[in-house]
Amino acid sequence: MSTEQNQTVVVLDFGGQYKELIARRVRECKVHSQILAGNTPLDKLKAIAPIGIILTGGPHSVYAADSPHTVKELFEMGIPILGICYGMQLMAYTLGGEVKPCAVSEYGTVSATYEDTNCALFKGLERDTVTLMSHTDYVARLPEGFRRIAHTSDCPTAAMCDESRKLYAVQFHPEVERTKQGTQLINNFLYNVCGAKGDYNIDDVIEKQIKAIRAQVGAHQVVLGLSGGVDSSVCAAILEKAIPGQLTCIFVDHGMMRKNEGDEIERAFEGKSLNFVRVDAEKRFLDKLAGVTEPERKRKIIGEEFVRVFEEESSKFAGSFLAQGTIYPDVVESGLTTGAVIKSHHNVGGLPKDTKFIGLVEPLRYLFKDEVRALGRRLGLDETLVSRQPFPGPGLAVRCIGEITKEKLDILRDADFIYREELSKAGLKYDQFFAVLTNMRTVGVMGDGRTYNYVVGLRAVITSDFMTCEYAHIPYETLDVISSRIVNEVKGVSRVVYDITGKPPATIEWE
């Protein structure tokens, strides 16, 4: 995405689990953000010319030999900087302060006091507040020129600043929902300290992307892999608007969709002004996945095979571009911004080197999921598509633990269908929910006989950003109905369990 006219804040990542959430909060405040590795050279930062820099948290102790560091010159560039958690400790350590292990570590929500609510960072915020803490070290001595502006009962310096150099830092995490007024704090940094104009909005993104697509593609044809998910659907919509008559959408049915989903996707795109092609490739994908159990390998196989099927089907469109619904979290999690791989995504880094496409079109590459949904609404997509739950590119392959077989996929499809149907009947809506077929079998009793069948796991989460989540408290009576139906109606299942783990420490998906 072209951002020449947008002010930008750079988020420097030091291994923080909330780096994407920080960047998303900045965009909520109408300022463009970009995530880069903590060791990004200063020359690259100067070329971007950010109006501000945010240093993320991280799992390290800044005084340890193997911890990530930065150079003192970063703080001498004249660019406003906000350090968060490890970022605060790094700022203090680098500028001559002292960081020590805590006498009492702080985890979870902690009461804090903002000592100066007239300072630029805390202006307009309540003096007594609640923050999310997660640290075992603390700033024991402030660097020269800094003053303390917040504390907790166990952390003497919960925030510090050097206003003359526009350097601010907080020990807590303002980016998470559990920190009261956290987004307003970030907004204060952006507008009171960095002088942001608030020039980033989704309407500008549409205009810029349409111009960029037309400039890149020209008169060439574009081939898009259309899964029916939010990302690929919005990608199709903006491509159709930018280059009408030049788009072919190929739905590669790899046999790992949810029950009846392939037919539903085909119906959803009937009558559109685009060429829709459905390819039945179930057997081909299952043959490639035979005997494979490792999650990353499964993802790579599916990504590579997906592209090969694509190339074969699109061979009639000589010299075409490949379009993908890649979004920013895909890029970040695959390590292309920070170098730290959380998990590989089928649409990031999975293209064979010998691909015949002449180029790659990714109009959503720098957008977060909620931005993609907003974009889809602006483009007039049906709400059922825009609000569709996230579904991984590899489909049920990452919800079927261990080796993938048609038998296991069919079991999972039926169990997942019952789960979704009963939640709908009960009027229960969660941000994401699905069934998982574990690779575990347990003893059961059905009738007078002993069974030894699979365990199905159920997952339902509540989240506003998909960066963190809490498990949903589904009523026991609803879980009882779901469990009873799955065990009795789905052949091959003898036990149902419910996942009550949040993110972190778990991820939303199981693989």
Residues marked as catalytic: 85, 173, 175
Task: Please report where in the chains the tokens 């790579």 appear, as a residue.
Answer: 300
Please name the residues in contact with 449: beta carbons below 8 A apart, sequence gap of 6 or more: none
Instruction: Provide the 10 A C-beta neighbour count for residue 156.
Output: 14
What is d(CA 265, CA 160) in angstroms, rounded to the nearest whole number?
53
With CA atoms as reference, report the closest residue to 393 among 224, 232, 248, 236: 232
**What would the two tokens of residue 310 be?**
């694509």
Q: What is the length of the chain?
A: 511
With CA atoms as reference, report the closest residue to 379 among 202, 199, 198: 202
Please name the residues in contact with 295: beta carbons below 8 A apart, sequence gap of 6 or more: 343, 398, 511
The conformation of residue 448, written as its DSSP 8-state character, comes to T
Please name the residues in contact with 361: beta carbons below 8 A apart, sequence gap of 6 or more: 213, 216, 217, 222, 239, 321, 322, 323, 324
With CA atoms as reference, report the closest residue to 454 among 506, 402, 508, 509: 402
Q: Is 475 exposed, middle or buried (0-12, 13-18, 19+ CB in 10 A)?
A: exposed
